[in-house]
């Protein structure tokens, strides 16, 4: 069974993630080391390494491995950098970010998901990730600025309060736009007032709470 798991993990990294232009050896290494199956809900454990979103509670999902790989490659936090993750979900991406960064603060609005992620991170031996329970776009009080901010759900338009969480020189990953043609964007903060934005790829993922498009009324 262990050999089958390791073969499935290797196939995921080599045949899915790498072939989607994820070539950074640090990212490939962390995806090969962090046990993805430990973060997948028990009833979906057989789906741990397939190229598909995995359902979580409350309508949330665990992102496809290729999307997780592209996110990690886009931001690649260094060993001295602090990361803010919006949307903990299963905690797998949290674990990957924590394996690269100095520390991670992850925000999850659902207490049961937050508690499960805390337990899984602890069981994995990751001690530099803290999970906070809050609704990020309305209820989260951010008391510091970060080198890297990652939104794991989409936003129709990037809220200004999210930009305030990024320190000068920092990076913000967000997937923005209208489903089904969303853009993965990397926003880099040059200084207090200037930003650059790079479009990375197209995708389609669920929106964060309070971040979906306004309802359009039709006759």
At residue 155, what are phi and psi to the nearest 5 degrees?
Answer: -130, 140
Sheet holding 103-108, edge to edge: 129-133, 103-108, 82-86, 146-151, 166-178, 181-189, 195-203
- Residue 2, pLDDT score: 57
pTM (2 decimals)?
A: 0.94
**Token pair belonging to 106:** 């992850």
| The dihedral sign for the CA sequence 148, 62, 9, 119 | positive
Specify which residues 103 forms β-bridges with: 82
- Residue 139, pLDDT score: 81
Enter the CATH code of domain 2-203: 3.40.50.150
Specify which residues 185 forms β-bridges with: 174, 199
Average pLDDT along the chain, 219 residues, taken 10 residues at a time: 81 97 98 97 95 96 98 97 98 98 98 98 97 92 95 95 96 96 97 97 95 74
Q: How far apart are CA 174 and CA 200, in angstroms?
A: 10
Q: Are 100 and 30 in contact (CB under 8 A)?
A: yes
Q: Are 60 and 82 in contact (CB under 8 A)?
A: no
Domain ranges of the chain: 2-203
- Residue 142, pLDDT score: 92
Q: 180 preceded by cis ω (within 30°)?
A: yes
- Residue 138, pLDDT score: 87
């Amino acid at each position: 069974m262990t050999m089958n798991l390791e073969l499935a993990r290797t196939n995921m990294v080599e045949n899915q993630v790498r072939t989607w232009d994820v070539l950074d050896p640090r990212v490939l290494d962390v995806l090969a080391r962090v046990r993805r199956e430990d973060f997948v809900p028990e009833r979906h454990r057989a789906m741990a390494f397939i190229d598909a979103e995995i359902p979580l509670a409350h309508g949330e999902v665990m992102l496809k491995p290729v999307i997780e790989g592209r996110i990690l490659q886009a931001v690649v936090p260094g060993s001295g950098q602090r990361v803010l993750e919006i949307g903990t979900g299963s905690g797998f991406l949290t674990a990957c970010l924590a394996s690269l960064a100095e520390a991670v603060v992850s925000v999850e609005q659902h207490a049961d998901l937050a508690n499960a992620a805390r337990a899984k991170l602890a069981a994995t031996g990751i001690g530099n990730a803290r999970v906070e329970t809050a609704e990020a776009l309305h209820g989260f009080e951010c008391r510091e600025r970060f080198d890297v901010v990652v939104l794991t759900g989409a936003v129709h338009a990037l809220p200004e309060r999210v930009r305030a969480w990024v320190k000068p020189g920092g990076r913000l990953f967000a997937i923005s736009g209208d489903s089904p043609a969303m853009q993965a964007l990397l926003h880099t903060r040059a200084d207090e007032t200037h930003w650059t934005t790079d479009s990375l790829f197209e995708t389609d993922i669920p929106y964060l709470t309070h971040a979906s498009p306004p309802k359009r009324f039709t006759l």
